[in-house]
Amino acid sequence: MVAKGLITGVSLVLALLVFSAAGVGTASAQAPGLKKGFYKKSCPRAEDIAREVVWARVAGNRELAAKFLRMFFHDCFVRGCDASVLLDSPTNTAEKDAPPNLSLAGFDVIDEVKAALERACPGVVSCADIVALAARDSVSFQYKRNLWEVETGRRDGTVSSDQEALADIPAPTSTFDILLSDFSSKGLGLQDLVVLSGAHTIGVGNCNLFSSRLFNFTGKNNPSDIDPALNPSYARFLQGQCRRNLQDPNDNTTVVPMDPGSSLSFDNHYFVNLKAHQGMFTSDATLLTNGRAANIVDKLQDPGVFFDAFKNSIKRMGQIGVLTGANGQIRKKCNVVN
């Protein structure tokens, strides 16, 4: 899920890597202009309205939780959390037109939330905040309580580039050093990288993004040659699911749950699976190749530690490059600039 650049802040990474007595934890900075309850006076029911719409839609489609979580991540990693991922382009050159974003979904629900908020409080609530709230509310639906706090006060961007999305969104084939560089370039640390990877506990993965690990891995024309980092039984399961990709490596329609048996439940199973070498993507498996990252994976197998760490890391992610105050705009419609 990042930008391609050199690691510029080892000290930042180390500063963010703080372990509490209870497990994993980091201090959280406040982004200027963001605060809890930003709309308390200007639109008192803003968060209630957003939650009501999202929960009603998620009740009929539990897969939306993974889709909104991914949308939030992909928005924040390109130009910051400014809802630029929602913008349409007449020339198909917006972020949503970039290959990593072609499988995004849920835009209609965002539009539904926006319409409801415009009826209640015209021109007040940003699309960027709606994306952040939709991610939290959709994931929280199964627990019927907020799993993390969302600071609001973001404003919307006016620029959206497919090339920036292609450069900044981390690839599922990324190695550990590339991922760490990507996260560091966004002001996030090693812990955030590992914790936020836990979002792969819900949703599905396209076979064409990991089938190179399953068939002819070393390039010696042996179809049964698999990535040795994969649990053999898990690899056989994936091979069975992704058999079409053996004939057509470009098939982008076949998908597999990232957490088989629990792909609709937001929990810490991702880290249990990862320790069993059942991480679907190279970007998952690579977390075990670094000692410090592997230690964090161990701690996050405790559900309490994971939930506590996740709410801190996603709060930090939601602060990336935000537009506040007089910057940006409050779009009337989320898919077009005013």
Catalytically active residues are 74
156 is in an annotated binding site: no
Helix (H) or strand (E) holding 129: helix 127-140
CA distances from 74 to 114, 218, 269 (A): 19, 31, 23
84 marked as part of a ligand binding site: yes
Among 83, 81, 74, 80, residue whose Cα is nearest residue 196:
74
Is 230 in contact with 212 (CB distance < 8 Å)?
Answer: no
Q: Going by C-beta distance under 8 Å and a sequence separation of 6 or more, which residues neighbour residue 58? A: 64, 65, 137, 138, 141
3-class SS of residue 189: coil
- C-alpha distances in Å from residue 207, one per residue of 48, 62, 98, 184, 210: 38, 21, 18, 28, 6
List CB contacts of 202: < 8 A, sequence separation 6 or more: 65, 66, 69, 139, 258, 259, 263, 264, 265, 266
95 annotated to bind ligand:
yes
Q: Is 91 annotated as a binding residue?
A: no
The verdict on whether residue 200 carries a ligand-binding annotation is: yes
Are 165 and 78 a contacting pair, CB within 8 Å? yes
129 assigned to a ligand binding site: no
- Residue 52 is assigned to a ligand binding site: no
Half-sphere exposure of residue 142: CA atoms within 13 angstroms, side-chain side: 15
Backbone angles phi, psi at 196, to 5 degrees: -70, -20
Q: Is 181 marked as binding a ligand?
A: no
Is 170 annotated in a binding site? The answer is yes
The tokens for 104 are 């995004």
DSSP letter string over 44-71? TTHHHHHHHHHHHHHHH-TTHHHHHHHH
Q: 261 in the Ramachandran plot: left (φ > 0), alpha (ψ -120 to 50) or beta? A: left
Cα distances (angstroms) measured from residue 80 to each of 169, 267, 293: 11, 26, 25
Binding positions are 75, 78, 80, 82, 84, 95, 170, 200-201, 259, 267
Binding positions for heme b are 200
Binding positions for Ca(2+) are 75, 78, 80, 82, 84, 95, 201, 259, 267
